[in-house]
């Protein structure tokens, strides 16, 4: 599959995932007639794999000329799209069952194949940006253990158990704190200072790698809150903050210059704010009283995941899409997206806090549903602009 087709598929899957998200939120308002859990699986897989993973594959493909002409890479990317389409059909019908497990396993296997192609094809490359991308692939491989474990867990009649949810959180942690984060940093370093920077970020990368591995403990504290788990999570938080500080210190001049001189710096500023919020939430997530609250704080968990996937990674892919495709998605669409993101985040967080701490309860599902309808409208425009340009 050619690079320009991959980015079209990516934005199409973003649009589809948003429509599924609207249906999911609508099921709290009216009887949609769908199986909520089945559709949730479809929504999350299409969003994470069809949009985010595809988007980062597109960025990586554009960074390496040798990948653009590699037939194994092209065929592998094509099979990934088939597997995502298979999951899109299978999950809403049967949830985690034969066909959905087949297509999700196929995606994992082909992703590992692409990792091998990447390492072999770019084996002579050096530098911090390349090292970050290599670690991104490694964490992608590690994250795959989570979905692969779900089959046996369900077969043992342990669906909805602590182990079941820990497998999901394991997958999510190493996918977004590992794979996506290192991919984004790798592309960002490459686009900022190119490939001639040597290994100036070697210490920061090492700290971030250790923080990511230890940080998995933060996903398990709610179920297995031992002293060792709390210690690992606390160390991970400290190492992560230090690593990001060193990276920011290294690129502070270029970053502030971009913010100052970009004609439209709205996305970059929003991404930085979202990253700071992400780190802050992760940091307080290691506190015992917060862990205790997390057991009941499903809306907070959803708000945090949407902050990461929409506020950080989606906006970053949009930012890079505009830069690489030389297209402007228009300020109204970006402002609309940011407004919708902030509004839906507040609608998830504020009612829970009022109910949990002040025993003030009110129904917010209708407002959340109507606010969510705006996302597909914005994404239709972005998809149109990408198709038009590429």
* Residue 221 φ/ψ region, left for φ over 0, alpha for ψ in the -120 to 50 degree band, beta for the rest: alpha
Tell me what the mean pLDDT of segment 363-390 comes to: 92
pTM: 0.94
How far, rounded to the nearest angstrom, does the alpha carbon of residue 325 sit from its chain's CA centroid? Answer: 22
Tell me what the mean pLDDT of segment 60-82 comes to: 94
b (16+ CB within 10 A) / e for 121-144: bbeebebbbbbbbbbbbbbbbbbb
Q: What is the DSSP letter of 363?
A: -
Contacts of 361 (CB under 8 A, 6+ apart): 351, 354, 355
What residue numbers bound the domain in which 336 lies?
262-382
CB 354 within 8 A of CB 289: no
Q: Which tokens in the block code for residue 79?
A: 């099979």
In a domain, 326, yes or no: yes
What is the pLDDT at residue 222? 79
What is the pLDDT at residue 199? 62
| More confident site: 195 or 258 | 258
pLDDT exceeds cutoff 90 at 319: yes
In a domain, 5, yes or no: no
How deeply is 226 buried, as exposed, middle or buried, from its count of CB atoms within 10 A (0-12, 13-18, 19+)?
A: exposed
Q: Average pLDDT, whole number, for the chain?
A: 90
Give the Cα separation of 140 and 67 in Å (integer): 18
Phi, psi for 264 (deg, rounded to 5): -125, 90
Tens digit of pLDDT for each residue in 348-371? 999 988 988 888 878 889 999 999
Tell me what the mean pLDDT of segment 1-5 comes to: 80
In a domain, 209, yes or no: no
Question: Of 66-80, 95-109, 218-232, which range is least confident?
Answer: 218-232
Q: How many CA atoms lie within 13 A of 296 on its CB side?
A: 9
User: How many structural domains compose the chain?
Assistant: 1
In a domain, 365, yes or no: yes
CB 389 within 8 A of CB 326: yes
103 sits in which H/E element = helix 98-121
CB 36 within 8 A of CB 24: yes
What 3-state DSSP class applies to 127? Answer: coil
Tens digit of pLDDT for each residue in 113-165? 999 999 999 988 888 899 999 999 999 999 999 988 887 888 888 877 888 88
In a domain, 74, yes or no: no
CB 52 within 8 A of CB 321: no
In a domain, 292, yes or no: yes
* DSSP string of 323-340, one letter each residue: HHHT----HHHHHHHHHH
pLDDT exceeds cutoff 90 at 334: yes
| Closest to 335 in 3D by CA, of 261, 253, 270 | 270
What is the pLDDT at residue 195? 52
pLDDT exceeds cutoff 60 at 197: no
pLDDT exceeds cutoff 80 at 20: yes
pLDDT exceeds cutoff 60 at 237: yes
In a domain, 351, yes or no: yes
Query: Of 51-60, 219-228, 267-276, where does the model show the most confidence?
Result: 51-60
* DSSP string of 258-271, one letter each residue: HHHH-S--HHHHHH
In a domain, 319, yes or no: yes
What is the pLDDT at residue 194? 60
Tens digit of pLDDT for each residue in 239-292? 999 999 998 888 877 777 766 666 668 888 899 999 999 999 988 877 777 777
**Overall size of the chain counted in residues:** 390
Tell me what the mean pLDDT of segment 78-91 comes to: 97
Tell me what the mean pLDDT of segment 302-324 comes to: 95
What is the pLDDT at residue 263? 62
């Amino acid at each position: 599959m050619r690079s320009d087709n991959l980015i079209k598929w990516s934005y199409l899957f973003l649009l589809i995932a948003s429509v599924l998200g609207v249906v999911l939120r609508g099921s709290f308002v009216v009887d949609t007639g769908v199986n909520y859990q089945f559709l949730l699986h479809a929504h999350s897989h299409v969003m994470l794999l069809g949009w985010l993973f595809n988007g980062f594959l597109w960025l990586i493909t554009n960074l390496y000329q040798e990948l653009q002409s590699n037939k194994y890479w092209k065929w592998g990317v094509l099979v990934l799209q088939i597997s995502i389409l298979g999951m899109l059909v299978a999950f809403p019908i049967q949830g985690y069952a034969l066909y959905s497990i087949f297509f999700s396993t196929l995606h994992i296997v082909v992703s590992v194949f692409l990792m091998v192609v990447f390492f072999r094809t770019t084996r002579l490359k050096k530098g911090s940006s390349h090292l970050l991308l290599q670690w991104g692939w490694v964490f992608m491989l590690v994250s795959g253990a989570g979905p692969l474990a779900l089959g046996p867990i369900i077969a043992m009649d342990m669906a909805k158990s602590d182990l079941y949810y820990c497998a999901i959180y394991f997958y999510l942690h190493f996918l977004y704190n590992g794979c996506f984060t290192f991919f984004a940093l790798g592309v960002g370093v490459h686009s900022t200072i190119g490939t001639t920077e040597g290994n100036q970020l070697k210490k920061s990368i090492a700290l971030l790698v250790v923080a990511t591995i230890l940080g998995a403990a933060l996903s398990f504290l709610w179920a297995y809150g031992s002293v060792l788990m709390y210690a690992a999570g606390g160390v991970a938080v400290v190492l992560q903050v230090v690593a990001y500080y060193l990276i920011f210190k290294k690129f502070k001049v270029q970053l502030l210059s971009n913010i100052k001189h970009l004609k439209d710096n709205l996305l970059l500023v929003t991404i930085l704010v979202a990253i700071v919020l992400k780190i802050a939430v992760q940091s307080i997530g290691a506190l015992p009283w917060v862990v205790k609250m997390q057991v009941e704080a499903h809306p907070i968990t959803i708000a945090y995941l949407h902050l990461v996937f929409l506020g950080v990674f989606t906006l970053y892919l949009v930012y890079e899409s505009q830069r690489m495709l030389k297209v402007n998605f228009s300020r109204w669409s970006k402002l609309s997206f940011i407004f919708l993101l902030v509004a839906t985040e507040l609608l998830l967080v504020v009612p829970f806090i009022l109910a949990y701490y002040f025993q003030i309860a009110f129904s917010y599902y209708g407002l959340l549903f109507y606010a969510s309808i705006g996302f597909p409208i914005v994404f239709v425009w972005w998809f149109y602009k990408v198709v038009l340009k590429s």
